[in-house]
Amino acid sequence: MNSSSDPKIIIAIDGFSSTGKSTIAKYLARTVGYRYIDTGAMYRAVTLWAMRHNLISPDGTVDSEALAAALPQISVGFALMHDGTQHTTLDGEDVEDKIRGMEVSRNVSPVAAIPAVRHSLVKMQQDYGKAKGIVMDGRDIGTTVFPHAELKIFMSASAETRARRRLKELQEKGQQLTFEEVLENVQSRDHIDQTRAESPLRRADDAIDLDNSMMTIAEQNQWLLDRFNEAVAKARQ
């Protein structure tokens, strides 16, 4: 826990899918008493809404105009659970488990590439960060949402490493998929995220790189806590 006299800062954690951004972001927020915002969950919730309203065709094409028109009626939020964890809500419904499935994973990148969707959710994310004291992870936090964040991290790992992690995560939730299916999804999302016109995934010039391919979660947590303490010390000057 950091001292109440310390200046509050914004921590932006960006990177490729399945690099473990949310794992270390949650740890840091819990350790230092900051609020954690999972921006990927916000895009997943909008994707789930679009799927439920038949705005995504079987070939993955999104009816972007209809979705853009519906955005003012879509309510995405976060609810604090009794055990201290945070669940994503969609129009008041707890959808934390529903948004983590492979079906949403297949469709989230095309939805997140729609400019109206990004503009709407980026505005919401910026509102969350007005008081600082926040850890936010995503694809464009350090470049678009909070370009002046005091600490920016860019996470990476090989596609194969990330696919193995994601497969294990899905299998633990009872979903039966092959390594090849998950790897294809990871590579497809990388391509869409990096090539979309609106806020593509890219490393901020002043971000600190973290390739966690060969690191344990404990090592990553300590590494991030060290970077946080350095950033707070700098902000104190």
Structural domain spans, the chain: 10-228
- Tokens describing residue 130: 């007005």
Contact 16, 190 (CB under 8 A): yes
| Amino acid letter for position 199 | S
pLDDT of residue 127 exceeding 90, the answer is: yes
What pLDDT sits at residue 199? 86
The arithmetic mean of pLDDT across residues 172-201, rounded, is 91
The arithmetic mean of pLDDT across residues 195-199, rounded, is 87
Contact 175, 102 (CB under 8 A): yes
The distance from CA 137 to its chain's CA centroid, rounded to whole angstroms, is 4
Report the predicted TM-score, pTM, of the whole model to 2 decimal places.
0.86
What pLDDT sits at residue 3? 63
pLDDT (tens digit per residue) in 182-194: 999 999 989 988 9
Give the three-class secondary structure for 94.
Answer: strand
Going by C-alpha positions, the residue among 189, 216, 178, 224 that lies closest to residue 17 is 189
List the helix and strand counts (H, then E) for the chain: 8, 8
10-228 topology per CATH: Rossmann fold (3.40.50)
Mean pLDDT, the chain, whole residue set: 93
